[in-house]
């Protein structure tokens, strides 16, 4: 190998850790994870395309229809010696003209209002997609963080089992211990290793779910920060379903206004210029007025159909508001009860378990307790901490649902 190749290999080996660190950050916060998820969200991109489409359509909503160019020949002979000749008969006239359908200002304003309502509806879809991305990312973050914390506890328990098994073997070799103690601790070590493998598998699954949203696998996740919860009115008003149905109701009402305005027909005017052979050219002007013969059977029924759709949207909005209210109250109640359980469990179970471990350690060090008793105390303490961790995870997930489900980042702050 040449000197240049050797140096290149050395530099490549030196840069590998840096490239790995750039690809996967060593530590990631919840805010940073939310930003990464928002940047790579394709559902938000799709919703933004919907807004662009509705906006472009809204620009043309209040415009007049395109004019129509009319070209023709009037009174063209069909029989006789002048058949199909345009310049022999004095009544034959070559005509060119233009016609235009006219929409009143009220109709154009109604159409513009309906188009603007469609834009608002698509804009809410963008906010809903963003909120859902943030919610799913935050839930995945919580699951991944607490899976890592659970793995730390399981690893600690496995380490304790290994220590006590080795100590029991040493005591057995010095005739100070018993084979039953060694066998009991060997079985406990196997159980601890299996629990660690199970939790590591759960952590791997949580990591895959988290990677789906942020696109990176950090070495460590920072503890979730304290989350400010919204009030009930703010939660309900910004609920994605409620906000979407509110815009749907607005759009249905605007469409009903457009249909009601169509009860008055659109007039159109014609202007044409006719050229004759041997005689003076002519100009024709006309107005076309559609006759609404049976508005009660046509236009009024169309309006009634749109008003029925508006009633349907209004009922769906009322039902969604009730559901969002019940959802908030359920989540808020769960959060309150979980907080109470955490405080009670910490004082009634975790603290006594730690005291039991301290007492068992002191008894073993003074040759008044066995290794099995010490292991059982340590195992009970770790199990209590794992149960506390599960309660904290459930509380964090509940708070995330309360804070991140409503539309708008300001609600989740």
Residue whose entry in the numeric block shows the structure tokens 């009115």: 233
Q: Rounded CA gap, 148 and 201, in Å? A: 11
Q: Two tokens at 222?
A: 């920072």
What's the distance, CA 167 to chain centroid? Answer: 54
Q: Rounded CA gap, 336 and 346, in Å? A: 16
Q: Rounded CA gap, 136 and 404, in Å? A: 9
Domain borders along the chain are 26-66+105-263+296-404
CB 112 within 8 A of CB 58: yes
Half-sphere exposure for 234 (CA within 13 Å, toward CB):
14
What whole-number percentage of the chain has pLDDT above 70?
87
H-helix or E-strand spanning residue 72: strand 68-74
How many beta carbons lie within 10 A of that of residue 305, not counting itself? 12
CB 222 within 8 A of CB 30: yes
What pLDDT is attached to residue 173?
64
How many beta carbons lie within 10 A of that of residue 217, not counting itself? 14
What pLDDT is attached to residue 9?
44
Q: State pLDDT tens for residues 180-224.
A: 766 776 777 777 777 888 888 888 888 888 888 888 878 888 999
Q: Rounded CA gap, 265 and 88, in Å? A: 42
CB 75 within 8 A of CB 89: yes
Q: Which CATH class is domain 26-66+105-263+296-404?
A: mainly alpha
CB 96 within 8 A of CB 283: no
Q: Rounded CA gap, 134 and 128, in Å? A: 10
Regions of the chain with pLDDT less than 50: 1-23, 410-413
What pLDDT is attached to residue 15?
45
Q: Which residues, 6 or more positions from 2, have their beta carbon under 8 angstroms from its beta carbon?
A: none
Q: Which residues, 6 or more positions from 14, have their beta carbon under 8 angstroms from its beta carbon?
A: none
Q: Two tokens at 11?
A: 């530099």
Q: State pLDDT tens for residues 248-260.
A: 999 999 999 988 8
CA-nearest of 117, 131, 192, 217 to 383 is 192
**27-28 and 68-74 beta bridge pairing:** unpaired
Q: State pLDDT tens for residues 138-197.
A: 999 999 999 989 888 888 877 776 666 666 666 556 655 567 766 776 777 777 777 888
What pLDDT is attached to residue 175?
55
H-helix or E-strand spanning residue 274: strand 267-276
What does each C-alpha distance from 248 to 3, 117, 220, 315, 340 come to in angstroms? 71, 8, 43, 11, 41
Q: Which residues, 6 or more positions from 296, have their beta carbon under 8 angstroms from its beta carbon?
A: none
- In sequence order, what are the beta bridge partners of 284? 272
């Amino acid at each position: 190998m040449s000197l240049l190749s050797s140096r290149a290999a050395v530099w490549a080996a030196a840069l590998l850790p840096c490239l790995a660190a750039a690809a996967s950050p060593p530590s990631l916060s919840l805010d940073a994870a939310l930003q990464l998820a928002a940047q790579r969200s394709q559902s938000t991109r799709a919703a933004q395309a919907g807004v662009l489409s509705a906006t472009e359509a809204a620009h043309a909503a209040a415009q007049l229809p395109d004019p129509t160019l009319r070209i023709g020949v009037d009174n063209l002979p069909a029989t006789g010696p002048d058949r199909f000749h345009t310049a022999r008969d004095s009544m034959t006239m070559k005509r060119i003209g233009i016609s235009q359908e006219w929409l009143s200002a009220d109709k154009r304003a109604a159409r513009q209002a309906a188009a603007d309502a469609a834009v608002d509806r698509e804009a809410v879809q963008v906010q809903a997609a963003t909120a859902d991305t943030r919610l799913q990312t935050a839930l995945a973050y919580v699951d991944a963080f607490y899976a890592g914390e659970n793995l730390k506890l399981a690893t600690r328990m496995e380490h304790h089992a290994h220590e006590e098994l080795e100590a029991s073997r040493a005591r057995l070799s010095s005739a100070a211990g018993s084979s039953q103690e060694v066998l009991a601790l060997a079985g406990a070590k196997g159980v601890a290793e299996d629990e660690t493998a199970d939790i590591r598998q759960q952590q791997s699954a949580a990591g895959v779910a988290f990677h789906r949203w942020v696109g990176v696998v950090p070495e460590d996740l920072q503890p979730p920060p304290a989350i400010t919860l919204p009030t009930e009115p703010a939660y309900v008003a910004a609920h994605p379903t409620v906000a979407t149905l509110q815009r749907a109701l607005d759009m249905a009402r605007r469409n009903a206004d457009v249909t009601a305005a169509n009860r008055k027909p659109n007039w159109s005017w014609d202007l044409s210029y006719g050229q004759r052979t041997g005689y003076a050219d002519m100009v024709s002007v006309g107005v076309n007025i559609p006759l609404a013969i049976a508005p009660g059977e046509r236009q009024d029924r169309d309006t009634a159909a749109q008003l029925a759709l508006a009633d349907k949207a209004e009922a769906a909005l009322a039902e969604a508001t009730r559901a969002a209210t019940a959802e908030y109250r359920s989540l808020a109640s769960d959060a309150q009860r979980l907080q109470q359980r955490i405080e009670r469990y910490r004082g009634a179970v975790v603290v006594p378990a730690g005291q039991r471990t301290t007492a068992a350690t002191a008894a073993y060090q003074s040759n008044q307790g066995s290794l099995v008793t010490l292991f059982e105390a340590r195992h009970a303490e770790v199990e209590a901490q794992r149960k506390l961790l599960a309660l904290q995870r459930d509380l964090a997930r509940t708070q995330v649902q309360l804070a991140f489900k409503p539309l708008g980042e300001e609600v989740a702050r």
